């Protein structure tokens, strides 16, 4: 074996089946690295991809065209093959209360160790989800606060005159975010943002807002303020600074005479409302960093004061459903309005630019690499992924974000609008390179139902829909890599586990980052586990075999013995009751026959 060069062995391994290549890894120390080569397993991933053909004249060109990763990106393709073909299983969290929100807690190195969730009774729980020595990942509860912790309303003397909502969860998916560096959690309950210390499980502060909170940004850098989206506004929340009047409405600000505008509130313009011509207000020219909609209310024409309604400066409910921090300064929001709105934190609350989508979006994610088919002249630095609904079907959209769009000049007399392409027709699934950015909208083959959550894992994009389906597609947004449905999952030899069947829908999916996910010597691994949240329960989808724990096995056997003994006792009690009833009936018959005074021997 040592007489042959590595190129010959690599050529020989290319003709073997994947199961034989895996067996060859254990033959010798010299053949092991060759059987784990990234180029070899990238070819195997291409050959096993749905719709791929191996009878092409140039397989190398086909693999290169199929691979959507960046040129400077390192991917562990052996783990990618495992993620695409290994049996899937789910580990569900066993909680007596429904889970209303969950987020992952990372350590100082960015690795996931714990999960923090808010429960239906207003309490907060912390689970250990780290992988144990038996490769079994499960939810082990580490701490649990007192019930009703999040529902306790403190005194808020400066609260707005707007209507408040009684404490309680309103079904918002992005209602919890964590600051792992400061060991804090921010949980939205109705109109109140609770700041929680995870070490003591006590509420540090409560901040009221004028309208119900609809989304929170994922807290990445502790030095970046948290973005809070409400039904009609977007706020910057920084616990290190005290912004004034967080709970003010546009009507409150119009009644007050402010020396300077509030720089932490952006009231969202209603792009969908048809305004009459006699109420149109000319855009004022301001030098202060103020939102256009707020400026129209605070500064009116001296000769003609138009009537301003709240609907003119607020957009349709329920406001932003997804808030994404991109780069160092950019904030992207999306919701049930036909556009993706960008803000620059340095010029907040002025709108930076708008990407027209035409769909009702519910989730945003990003990839720190530009699309492969994007033009090099655009200097794209990342890819924006958006998911939602268009004409009753799922819509998966990709946009390139360039350095120019993030550093573009902000002017107060004109709103910069980035429109990569006109709205795609119903069912459209075409790439578009018109304008200044690349865009792609898959509205025909992405999903037959609304896309609820989207994320990037390995070299693929994973998203969930409203029918309980979870799909993995390539980064082009079109080629299907794998599909699964959490409701069609049964215990058998293909999946290796069990989960309850029903109408489960993954409303939120978050990749779990382990030590070997980003520290692999061959590149970023793609077989990492995924946290799923259905709105009432949480689980982990994994490709790793779930070995039976000894303690759980003993507990299960004891439970079976207890159930068997209980069943025997129930059968014994039933037999006793039946025999007692039979004897009582026999005694009744004898007493009834004794009334006739019949002599013995007649019968």
- Show the CA angle centred on residue 428, arms to residues 425 and 434, nearest 5°: 80
pLDDT value at residue 7: 82
- At 303, the pLDDT band (50, 70, 90 cuts) reads very low
pTM assigned to the model = 0.76
pLDDT tens digits, one per residue of 165-216? 456 777 888 899 998 888 899 999 988 999 999 999 999 999 998 888 999 9
Average the pLDDT over 329-344 and give the result: 89
Query: In this structure, are residues 390 and 426 in contact, taking their beta carbons and an 8 Å threshold?
Result: yes
Average the pLDDT over 340-360 and give the result: 87
pLDDT tens digits, one per residue of 550-574? 566 666 667 777 777 888 888 999 9
Place of tokens 């655009």: 378
pLDDT value at residue 125: 94
User: Which of the listed CATH numbers 2.40.30.200, 3.40.50.970, 2.40.128.630, 3.40.190.10 matches domain 315-506?
Assistant: 2.40.128.630
Query: In this structure, are residues 268 and 234 in contact, taking their beta carbons and an 8 Å threshold?
Result: yes
Q: Which residue has the higher pLDDT, 122 or 157?
A: 122
CA–CA dist 270, 332 (Å, integer)? 17
Which residue, 183, 171, 170, 181, is CA-closest to 116? 183
Q: Classify 335 as helix, strand or coil.
A: strand
Q: Classify 565 as helix, strand or coil.
A: helix
Residue 344 DSSP one-character state: E
Give percent of the chain above pLDDT 70.
69
Q: Looking at the predicted structure, is the pLDDT value of residue 159 above 50?
A: no
pLDDT value at residue 124: 94
Query: In this structure, are residues 194 and 177 in contact, taking their beta carbons and an 8 Å threshold?
Result: no
Q: Looking at the predicted structure, is the pLDDT value of residue 525 above 50?
A: yes
Please list the residue range(s) of the chain that carry CATH number 2.40.128.630.
315-506
- Identify the weakest region by mean pLDDT among 277-281, 366-370, 398-402: 277-281
Q: Which residue has the higher pLDDT, 226 or 158?
A: 226
Task: Give percent helix, percent strand, percent coil of the chain, each to the nearest 5.
Answer: 20, 30, 50
Place of tokens 């692999």: 520
pLDDT value at residue 489: 53
pLDDT value at residue 193: 92
Q: Looking at the predicted structure, is the pLDDT value of residue 331 above 60?
A: yes
Q: Which residue has the higher pLDDT, 219 or 164?
A: 219
- At 81, the pLDDT band (50, 70, 90 cuts) reads very high
pLDDT tens digits, one per residue of 445-483? 888 899 999 999 989 999 999 999 999 999 999 889 999
CA–CA dist 247, 162 (Å, integer)? 8
Q: Which residue has the higher pLDDT, 146 or 432?
A: 146
Q: Looking at the predicted structure, is the pLDDT value of residue 274 above 60?
A: no
CA–CA dist 116, 313 (Å, integer)? 36
Place of tokens 């909170």: 213
Q: Classify 399 as helix, strand or coil.
A: strand
Distances (CA, A) of 250 to 210, 233, 265, 296, 347: 10, 10, 10, 11, 20
- At 427, the pLDDT band (50, 70, 90 cuts) reads very low
Query: In this structure, are residues 345 and 330 in contact, taking their beta carbons and an 8 Å threshold?
Result: yes
pLDDT value at residue 309: 46
CA–CA dist 602, 458 (Å, integer)? 94
Most confident of 300-304, 323-327, 345-349: 323-327
pLDDT value at residue 313: 41
- In whole numbers, what is the pLDDT of the chain averaged over residues? 76
Residue 286 DSSP one-character state: -
Average the pLDDT over 577-588 and give the result: 91
Show the beta-strand stretches assigned E in 26-138. Answer: 89-92, 99-106, 112-119, 124-128
Average the pLDDT over 340-365 and give the result: 89
CA–CA dist 287, 550 (Å, integer)? 69
- Show the CA angle centred on residue 76, arms to residues 70 and 80, nearest 5°: 95
- At 494, the pLDDT band (50, 70, 90 cuts) reads very low
308 burial (CB, 10 Å; 0-12 / 13-18 / 19+) is middle
- Identify the weakest region by mean pLDDT among 131-145, 167-181, 212-226, 505-519: 131-145
Neighbours of 409 (CB within 10 A): 7
DSSP assignments along 462-491, one per residue = EEEETTSEEEEEETTS-SEEEEEETTS---
Distances (CA, A) of 51 to 66, 77, 410, 508: 11, 19, 46, 29
Q: How far separated are the first and last CA of the chain, in Å rounded?
A: 101
């Amino acid at each position: 074996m040592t007489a042959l060069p590595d190129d010959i062995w690599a050529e020989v391994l290319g003709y073997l089946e994947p199961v034989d290549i895996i067996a060859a890894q254990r033959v010798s120390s010299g053949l092991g690295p060759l059987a784990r080569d990234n180029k070899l397993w990238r070819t195997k991933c291409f050959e096993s991809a749905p719709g791929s053909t191996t009878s092409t004249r140039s397989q190398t060109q086909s693999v290169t065209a199929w691979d959507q990763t960046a040129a400077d990106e390192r991917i562990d393709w052996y783990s990618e093959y495992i993620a695409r073909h290994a049996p899937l299983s789910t580990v569900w969290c066993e909680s007596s209360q429904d889970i209303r929100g969950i987020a992952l807690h990372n350590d100082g190195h960015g690795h996931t160790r714990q999960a923090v969730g808010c429960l239906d009774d207003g309490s907060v729980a912390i689970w250990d989800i780290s992988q144990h020595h038996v490769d079994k990942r499960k939810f082990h509860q580490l701490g649990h606060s007192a019930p009703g912790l999040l529902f306790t309303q403190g005194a808020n003397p400066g609260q707005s005159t707007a209507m408040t909502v009684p404490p309680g969860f309103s079904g918002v998916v992005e209602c919890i975010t964590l600051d792992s560096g400061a060991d804090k959690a921010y949980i939205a309950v109705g109109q109140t943002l609770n700041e929680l210390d995870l070490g003591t499980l006590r509420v540090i502060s409560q901040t009221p807002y004028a309208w119900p909170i609809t989304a929170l940004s994922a807290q990445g850098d502790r030095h970046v303020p948290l973005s809070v989206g409400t039904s009609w506004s977007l706020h910057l929340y920084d616990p290190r600074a005290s912004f004034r009047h967080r709970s003010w409405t546009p009507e409150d600000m119009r009644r007050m005479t402010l020396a300077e505008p509030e720089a932490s509130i952006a009231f969202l313009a209603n792009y969908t409302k048809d305004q009459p011509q006699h109420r149109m207000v000319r855009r004022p020219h301001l030098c202060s960093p103020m939102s256009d909609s707020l400026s129209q209310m605070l500064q009116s024409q001296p000769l003609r004061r138009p009537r301003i309604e709240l609907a003119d400066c607020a957009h349709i409910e329920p406001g932003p459903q997804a808030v994404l921090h991109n780069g160092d300064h950019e904030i992207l929001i999306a919701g049930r309005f036909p556009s993706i709105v960008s803000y620059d934190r340095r010029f907040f609350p002025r709108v930076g630019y708008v990407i027209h989508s035409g769909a009702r979006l519910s989730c945003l994610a990003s990839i720190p690499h530009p699309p492969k088919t994007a033009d090099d002249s655009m200097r794209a630095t990342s890819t924006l992924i958006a998911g939602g609904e268009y004409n009753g079907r799922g819509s998966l959209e990709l946009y390139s974000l360039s350095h120019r769009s993030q550093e573009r000049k902000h002017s107060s007399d004109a709103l910069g609008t980035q429109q990569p392409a006109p709205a795609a027709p119903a069912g459209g699934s075409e790439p578009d390179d018109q304008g200044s950015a690349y865009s792609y909208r898959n509205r025909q083959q992405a999903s037959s139902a609304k896309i609820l959550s989207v994320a990037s894992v390995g070299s693929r994009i994973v998203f969930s829909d409203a029918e309980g389906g979870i799909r993995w597609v390539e980064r082009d947004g079109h080629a299907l890599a794998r599909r699964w449905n959490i409701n069609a999952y049964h215990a058998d030899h293909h999946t290796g586990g069990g989960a309850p069947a029903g109408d489960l829908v993954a409303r939120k999916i978050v990749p779990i980052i382990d030590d070997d996910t980003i520290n692999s010597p061959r590149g970023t691994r793609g077989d990492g586990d995924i946290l799923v949240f259905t709105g009432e329960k949480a689980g982990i989808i994994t490709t790793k075999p779930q070995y039976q724990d000894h303690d759980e096995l003993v507990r299960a056997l004891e439970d079976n013995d207890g159930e068997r003994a209980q069943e025997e006792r129930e059968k014994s009690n039933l037999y006793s009751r039946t025999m007692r009833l039979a004897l009582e009936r026999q005694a009744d018959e004898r007493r009834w026959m004794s009334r006739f005074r019949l002599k013995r021997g007649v019968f």
